Structure 1
Amino acid sequence: MPVLVEMGWGGLVQYPWSITWTDITDRVDLAQGVTVTRGASDELSETQPGTATMTLDNQDGALTPGNPSSPFYPYVRKNAPIRVSIAHYPARSGASPWQGAQLVDDFSTALDTALWVTRTGTNVTVGGRLRTTDTPGVAAGVRTAQSWILKDNAISARLVTPPTAGASSAATARMTVHSTTAGTRLVWLLDRVAGTLQARNEVGSADATPTTITFSAIDHLWLRIRETSGVTVWETSPDGWDWTVRRSITTPAWVSTPQATSLELSAQRTGGTAGYVEWDSVGAQIRPRFWGMVNEFPVEWEGLHSKVTVSATDLFKRLNRLPALRSMLGMEVLTVDTLTGAYSFPAAYFPLSEPADSTAAGDVIGRGAGALASTPVGAGGGLTFGDEGVPETGETALTLAPASATAGRYLVGDLGLQTAADFTTWNVHTQVWIKTSTAGRAILGMHDVILDNQLVLALNGSGVLTVETTQDGSPLTIGTTTSGNLADGAWHHIVYDGSLHRVYVDGAPVSGTLVGTSTQNIRTLYIGGYRSARMFSGQIAHVSLHLANGPVGSVYAASSDARTGFAGESADWRVERLARYAGLSSVTVHGFTHDPIASQGPGGSGVVARLREVEATESGRLYAERDYYGLAYQSRDVRYNPTSDEEVFAVSYADLEPGTQFADDDQKLCNEVEASRPGGATQTVNAPNSIFAFGTYPQQLNILKTSDNSVLDAAYWLVSRYANPAPELREVPIKAYTMPDYLSILDADISSYGTVYDLPSQAPTLEARVTVEGYTETIRENSHEITFRTSASTNDSVWILGDPDYSQLDQTTRLAY
């Protein structure tokens, strides 16, 4: 089949590496086809969430949610992961021996005995797969004739169903490329009993030094042996697209000669219970089209026939559902543990940003820590929430105004059984923000139920930070740092690293002789004093406790910059930071032009809205990947001055579908821009000639630049591109399946280049280079129609001194931005 549809039953999209995929392609109604929509309508519009729709056969009820007899129960449910790919099988041409890339079989019909000329044991096709029965003591499998060239080629297959151990001492599956010499071969060998996968270069039926890896049915779903430029490699892939080299050798002489080879797919077990091994997709060239989650499984009937027409959405569905972000300072507390490189996690986090009428502070991590209640000590003094907190964060803080060091209010609470148990296993790391003008007070403290283990952060009489500890119930040992006077009326960020017993203040380490504590079974936490004494006077915010198995305080200390919203960091770093806030481990960044970005410090907006702010500020492109659960960001220079080498596809006008037209309207026209930035000037850029010819087409531009000059550059960039847009092709509809460069067309993605040539003589140009902004495709049996939504590539051309194409006066004199 041309399409490969897989479901990740029981998997979670946020953990894509752990998903076991199930092929449901045989359920797809290919008469109606699979439709995928991706990208934006044009270069001035935001990319939209990608979608996929298809109709699936449900005659057996397997796709009915809640059906206990379904083999997929109970995982037929909303948000189930799904991925769609094209499986292209190159046609065989010429006479034997053929190129190894032409060794293909999708097993969609009865076993091709003309291809698999040697067969042992029981081999049948079932559901579009080759099923080989592995009866104990009986070798079984299929083998081609000696008709295939491996040099400069690849031979691959998908191991859909590996053998089971079945109480056998050995249960194996092999993918073997045989030479003409018996026992000389290249082998992928899976031993399910040992749980190993070996890449073998056998001579005389043996390899003394094979490469052995632990087998993973997820990571090693696809197996490939490939030769290129004198090197032979064994590769595995979880999806047939992203391959990992597991072994490489200098190409053996029998491969480089080249010698005609044969491929064998086989299975064998020594004992135990008979089972089977299933192979599929031999020689398939995979092109991912969609990765996302199913919105619902709506069951419907036509007479007695049941079907499910599903729609799915890419990762933007999940991102758009995420709650509004806290301030960047708060989000750093919640997510910075992913950067430590150690096993670490937040155990409790008290932002202390409750409303003014609150009498207690709550934890936002949810591991069982109780609320911290306002507790009186002596007579007089007060404690209030809701006052202005760390500047530029937009969050409030706790204010403490005691009558004296022994009279006032502080917060006290139980951290809970789970947190106490966690403290026994890992070291505690503490973060806190303070502002005070009063020395000699305790900031926070904690202890177990019998006061054996205690930890206190305090300021001594000189305002210098101290760390006080005990782990045997003896009097507190005071370690004094070299922090200097922190009782200076300014906000300070303090981090205590419980592994190294080191302190960081405002992002920098400070020295001092500190005695560590095991902090085992810690249950009680005090904020604003300690055990009815040293009542803190001032403000405290963002108290967090982190547990780690290593020294990671320096990572927490770096979040001190969050108070300014990381103003000035480059756009690519900001995108990666925001992606981390959304739970994404990484972002693929394309391009090299990344300007500094202003603060996005205060919370209240969603992560997608913030990512879009960066995208708009940088004239970049943000979209979901189509081959995995990931985000991609392109800087504007990705589109600068495309060359013929960067062209993904070229298609003749005669091969386009009817309706192709050039657009020349005012949809994109912009000849006056009023631009501004947070805290900066409001500036105007216009194109007088365009205004004279067409009238004023104004636009507002509010972006997160860090300088007024950068704002001016962005405004000029917009006006210079669209003061008088040239006629352009906005759609390129292609019946791609019949095109000789089918795979090249499928490689086109957002910001890819293509050329339409041999345009009619009435066209404004005989050749038009276009940039892909998005596309809609429908995949059917032996049919693949794709309509690219495009823009004119010249819109992103920039001036290059002396270049024959990009230095033409009044044509390509646009300065790069």
Structure 2
Amino acid sequence: MVFPQTPLDVRVELGIAGAWTDVTADTYTRSPITITRGAADEASALEHSKCSLEFNNRLGKYSPRNPSSPYYGLIGRNTPVRVSVPGPESYLQLAGTTSSYARTPDHNSLDITGDIDLRVEATADWYSPASQSLLGKWDSAGNRRSYLLRIIDGLVILNWSVAGTTSAFASHPLPALPRRAALRATLDVDNGAGGFTARFYWAPSMDGPWVQILEPLSNTPTTSIYSGTTPLEVAPVAATGVTPLKGRVHRAEVRAGIGGTVVAAFDARAQPEGTTSWTDTAGRTWTLGPDASVTDRQYRFHGEVSSWPARWDVSGKDIYVPVEAAGTTRRLGQGRKALESTLRRRIPSASGLLAYWPMEEDQPPGSTQAYSPVPGVRPLVLAGADWAADDTLGGSAPLPTARNPTTLTARPPASPSTGWQIEWVYNMPSLPAVQTEVLRIGVTGAAMRWVILYASTSAIRIEAQDADGAILGAFDFTTADALAAFVGKWNRLAIYTGNYGGGATLVQATWRDVTTNQWYYAGTAPTTGQGRVGEVSATWGSALEGLAVGHLAVFSTPGNGVLGVPPTTQIFEGADDGFLGETALARIARLGAEEAATVDLVGYGENRTTPSTRLGPQRPATLLELLEGIQDADGGILYERHDRTGLVYRDRKTLYNQPAALALNYLAPGEVPPPLEPVEDDQRIRNDVTISRAGGSSGRAVMGMGPLSVLPPPAGVGPYDEALTLSLYNDDQPEQIANWRMHLGTWDEARYPTISVWLHAATHLINDVLALDLGDRIQISNPPPWLPPGAIDQHVLGYTETLDQHEWTLAMNCVPAGPWQVGVVGEARADTDGSELASGVGSSATSLSVAVTAGQLWITSAAYPSQFPFSVTVGGEEVTVTAISGSSSPQTFTVVRSVNGIAKSHSAGAALSLTRPAIIAL
């Protein structure tokens, strides 16, 4: 296609009856398709994407209630829509289902038993918590396991089997990968040292260069690979616990031997759109699963049509439907129901759960019942308590506290088996002076009738009684540390049974500090069966007044009968403190898994060596509020995808030191059309920033000197303050984040609210623009002489795209990229605290006399020759320093002038500083 002479191949498709239907022929070209994505600036909240287009409705096809329409009953509110243009090459689109794969039959060349080399180039969510298969011959159910390359939660894993029945593996953490990247795994089955060695690599593409990921992994003894009959698959579908890749695969190879003969060479790049079968250069014939497709389409918008307004002119001949489709956050933002607490969301999913009472109700005084979300479970009776009185547990909504007196009674359904576990969270203000009953568990079907937990300043006591109240077994835990850990903080208390052998049952109580994860155990082993839980009850008087309790759960899962081993069911783990301390991208991944039925949500950028910001507890809030809170705490970008319906969170660290994704030349036709208008305003200025940790301390950063400082004009601009409360892990974080936000808010550079590209006039940029995404860096070379010298360097936060038959434009919303160019250890240079010219110089002088007014002297070329040359700026002129001499101030700089095109004289006292001083990243 020769665009724009040939009309641009814009395709519009509607999701009708579960399939994409091409409706391009009904899409009017008289009104261009307009797409808006992202934010107007870095201060804006997440905005839903928009797509404006117009359908020809002369036949009534797009009137949802028109029975004559072929789409009657199939279109309506939130009908999916997508818009695409052709890309530079084809790829294999995979849906992440068991019917989405590319497959070639087994062949003797694929039955590799010795050294192997697997390679895949894909566009994927590399850090998804889901285990995703990439390439291999693997059938778990049929015991036909040979080799498998997969990813999970930021790990790359190579699995292989010696006999087809069991799996061996090697794995490494992934580095920070671009969205499109290649992975490679090799296995040397006999490394010559009595063992095997696995190695992992990554590259920008399968063309390399390959970079080894960490060190080789070796073990003994030597190994081999099972020669099975399973077909070779891209995105294998028969690996238990592993889902096929959701994303794009561009190429894949299997080699017999490390760097050896290519025995399979999957390559979708040159295949025509719609291809379902072909033979590769190694002679393998590939076929696609029903949910996989080969396409070259590059999607510019995915969204939903929420309304279908009918319009017509006075003649009744021009009948049309103008629609504005919206991204998924529009729908997510319609409902304001908060997600429930992490405990309430997590516990009902537990295996073996018999009954559960969250006790999070906010009820008036005198209320006595707490409902259960588990079907068939009667309400818990709680009389005398103050409902919703304690809101200090990170993983819960407010919980009740005991008054004097308070009674609790809960009766779970009958258990299908003997053995049990009771667990709840509690916060006891102080230990009673005398032994006081905390909880009583009624047991049926065993000689043991009651299990009672007591607490006092002298002991935590677990006691088993028979029907007459006789003690069958008891234990007093008197250790001072265990007693101190039982009170004054949120704890989890679990009481559970296990087979102790010899007809005895181990009855064990364990409490765990929700924050420190310290466990304590008390147990006794009477001669009795384990029985079943019949009821849970308590009566609390003045000694336990103020006791906060909640999330009582009963499980039919006994422990393993070993003292000092935690209970079998660990469903409370992590959720009890609201996942305190999990990283921003770990929370994105968890919410994405929990809310998969609501939204496709993934993160981009984290690796295990440079994790994203650690967060505070996840409190009840709407999904969008939680996501925006993650963005605010970590400082990355949350945005809607264009390649599929869903959301992406881009970690802050992916914004540091990016290479330019789009290089523009102001002098080239169509690359930077007007308007290019730098703005010097105060929209982004924040020079007094206070950050508070929710439930913790605060940190403040103030710019006290400089042109954007809090000083009144003309010395500064006056105060521009900002105060935010963020969900953070500890009290060290607020000050660091405050300083970073002040750094962003006091970056002294003009912003470019709009930078445009006319792709119909600069068609050579189309592929780069198709690969461009929000947060990426763009640069404009050769700016006009009335603007500051040097390249214009910006980050893209949003854009408006216009698609027509013969015009294709992009207007990008940008902010300076400068503050994101941070120091790298071993490469960064620190500036002096103050330097100025000791004497004036002309425009052509090659020697400068520089006085240090504060801080240390500049390094000399004699002492540090490898550190030269470098650039400094004086009076807006960038000069290259080739040498420095002098052991006291002033020092002599030998320089090359006018590096940035500015040549002028400078007076004595002109400030001099590094052109690119080190910025310490957050």
Q: Which of 630, 633, 639 is the aligned partner of 1:623?
A: 639
Gaps of 5+ in 1: 11-19, 91-100, 102-153, 164-172, 177-198, 202-207, 213-226, 268-276, 376-381, 403-408
Give the C-alpha shift of residue 746 in structure 1. 1.4
Q: Which of 748, 752, 755 is the aligned partner of 2:772?
A: 748
Counterpart position of 2:656:
640
CA contact (8 A) 2:637 2:650 kept: yes
Counterpart position of 2:44:
45
Question: Matched residue of 2:346: which SS?
Answer: helix
Counterpart position of 1:811:
915
For residues 410 and 299 of structure 1, do their structure 2 counterparts lie closer, same or farther at Cα, with a shift above 3 Å needed?
A: farther
For residues 70 and 613 of structure 1, do their structure 2 counterparts lie closer, same or farther at Cα, with a shift above 3 Å needed?
A: same
Q: Which of 771, 787, 794 is the aligned partner of 1:763?
A: 787
Q: Which of 431, 438, 441 is the aligned partner of 1:437?
A: 431
AA in 2 matched with 1:636 = R
Q: Deviations over 1:572-621 (max 9, x none)?
A: 445556667766786414257667657457x5654433443443344332
Question: Matched residue of 2:45: which SS?
Answer: coil
Q: TM-score, normalised by structure 2?
A: 0.57
For residues 739 and 475 of structure 1, do their structure 2 counterparts lie closer, same or farther at Cα, with a shift above 3 Å needed?
A: farther
Kindly indicate whether residue 748 of structure 2 is the aligned counterpart of residue 725 of structure 1.
Answer: yes
Question: Matched residue of 1:545: which SS?
Answer: strand
For residues 478 and 344 of structure 1, do their structure 2 counterparts lie closer, same or farther at Cα, with a shift above 3 Å needed?
A: same
AA in 2 matched with 1:430 = E
Kindly indicate whether residue 301 of structure 2 is the aligned counterpart of residue 290 of structure 1.
Answer: yes
Give the C-alpha shift of residue 773 in structure 1. 0.8
Counterpart Cα distance in 1 of 2:746 and 2:103: 63
Counterpart position of 2:682:
667
Counterpart Cα distance in 1 of 2:449 and 2:73: 48
Counterpart Cα distance in 1 of 2:60 and 2:450: 60
CA contact (8 A) 1:729 1:790 kept: yes
Give the C-alpha shift of residue 38 in structure 1. 1.4
Counterpart position of 2:367:
359
Q: Deviations over 1:515-534 (max 9, x none)?
A: 998887x7x7544359xx99
Counterpart position of 1:696:
718
Give the C-alpha shift of residue 661 in structure 1. 1.6
Residues 212-223 of structure 1: pairs in structure 2 closer than 5 A: none
Question: Matched residue of 1:365: which SS?
Answer: coil
Counterpart Cα distance in 1 of 2:367 and 2:145: 69
Q: Which of 337, 341, 361 is the aligned partner of 1:323?
A: 337
Q: Which structure has the highest helix share of the two?
A: 1
Question: Matched residue of 2:674: which SS?
Answer: coil
Q: Deviations over 1:142-176 (max 9, x none)?
A: xxxxxxxxxxxx786999xx99xxxxxxxxx9999
CA contact (8 A) 2:440 2:537 kept: yes
Counterpart Cα distance in 2 of 1:718 and 1:228: 39
CA contact (8 A) 2:104 2:233 kept: no
AA in 2 matched with 1:698 = Y
Give the C-alpha shift of residue 748 in structure 1. 0.9
Counterpart Cα distance in 1 of 2:103 and 2:571: 47
Question: Matched residue of 2:547: which SS?
Answer: strand
Q: What RMSD, in angstroms, separates the aligned Cα atoms of the two structures?
A: 5.7
Q: Which of 428, 453, 465 is the aligned partner of 1:458?
A: 453
Counterpart Cα distance in 1 of 2:635 and 2:918: 15
Give the C-alpha shift of residue 27 in structure 1. 6.2
Counterpart Cα distance in 2 of 1:477 and 1:782: 88
CA contact (8 A) 1:467 1:514 kept: no
AA in 1 matched with 2:306 = N
Counterpart position of 1:685:
703
Question: Matched residue of 2:703: which SS?
Answer: strand
Give the C-alpha shift of residue 767 in structure 1. 3.3
Counterpart position of 1:112:
none
Counterpart Cα distance in 2 of 1:803 and 1:621: 37
Gaps of 5+ in 2: 1-7, 106-134, 138-143, 149-204, 211-230, 237-243, 278-287, 499-506, 559-566, 830-866, 874-912
Counterpart Cα distance in 2 of 1:481 and 1:651: 79
CA contact (8 A) 1:529 1:535 kept: no
Counterpart Cα distance in 2 of 1:398 and 1:280: 54
CA contact (8 A) 1:322 1:582 kept: no
Give the C-alpha shift of residue 311 in structure 1. 2.0
Q: Deviations over 1:540-582 (max 9, x none)?
A: 42223276989753452444444xx82x655444555666776
Counterpart Cα distance in 2 of 1:346 and 1:779: 57
For residues 778 and 614 of structure 1, do their structure 2 counterparts lie closer, same or farther at Cα, with a shift above 3 Å needed?
A: same
Residues 379-528 of structure 1: pairs in structure 2 closer than 5 A: 382-388=384-390, 390=392, 395-402=398-405, 409-412=406-409, 430-435=423-428, 437-438=431-432, 439-443=435-439, 445=441, 458-459=453-454, 463-464=459-460, 466=462, 484-485=482-483, 489-496=487-494, 503-506=510-513, 507-511=517-521, 512=523, 526-528=536-538
Kindly indicate whether residue 35 of structure 2 is the aligned counterpart of residue 36 of structure 1.
Answer: yes
Q: Deviations over 1:711-758 (max 9, x none)?
A: 444444444444463234332222335612312211111111122234
Give the C-alpha shift of residue 397 in structure 1. 1.7
Counterpart position of 1:88:
86
Counterpart position of 1:334:
345
Counterpart Cα distance in 2 of 1:395 and 1:446: 28
Q: Which of 796, 801, 806 is the aligned partner of 1:777?
A: 801
For residues 764 and 426 of structure 1, do their structure 2 counterparts lie closer, same or farther at Cα, with a shift above 3 Å needed?
A: farther
Q: Deviations over 1:652-671 (max 9, x none)?
A: 55214643223132234536
Residues 153-172 of structure 1: pairs in structure 2 closer than 5 A: none
Same amino acid, percent of matched pairs: 15
Question: Matched residue of 1:490: which SS?
Answer: coil
Q: Which of 798, 805, 822 is the aligned partner of 1:798?
A: 822
CA contact (8 A) 1:389 1:397 kept: no
Counterpart Cα distance in 2 of 1:425 and 1:86: 59
Give the C-alpha shift of residue 54 in structure 1. 3.2
Counterpart Cα distance in 1 of 2:422 and 2:14: 41
Q: Which moved more, 1:346-355 or 1:577-586?
A: 577-586
Counterpart position of 1:147:
none
CA contact (8 A) 1:174 1:265 kept: no
Kindly indicate whether residue 558 of structure 2 is the aligned counterpart of residue 542 of structure 1.
Answer: no
For residues 626 and 803 of structure 1, do their structure 2 counterparts lie closer, same or farther at Cα, with a shift above 3 Å needed?
A: farther
Question: Matched residue of 1:746: which SS?
Answer: helix
Q: How many residues align?
A: 651
CA contact (8 A) 2:755 2:814 kept: yes
Give the C-alpha shift of residue 772 in structure 1. 0.8
CA contact (8 A) 1:649 1:745 kept: no
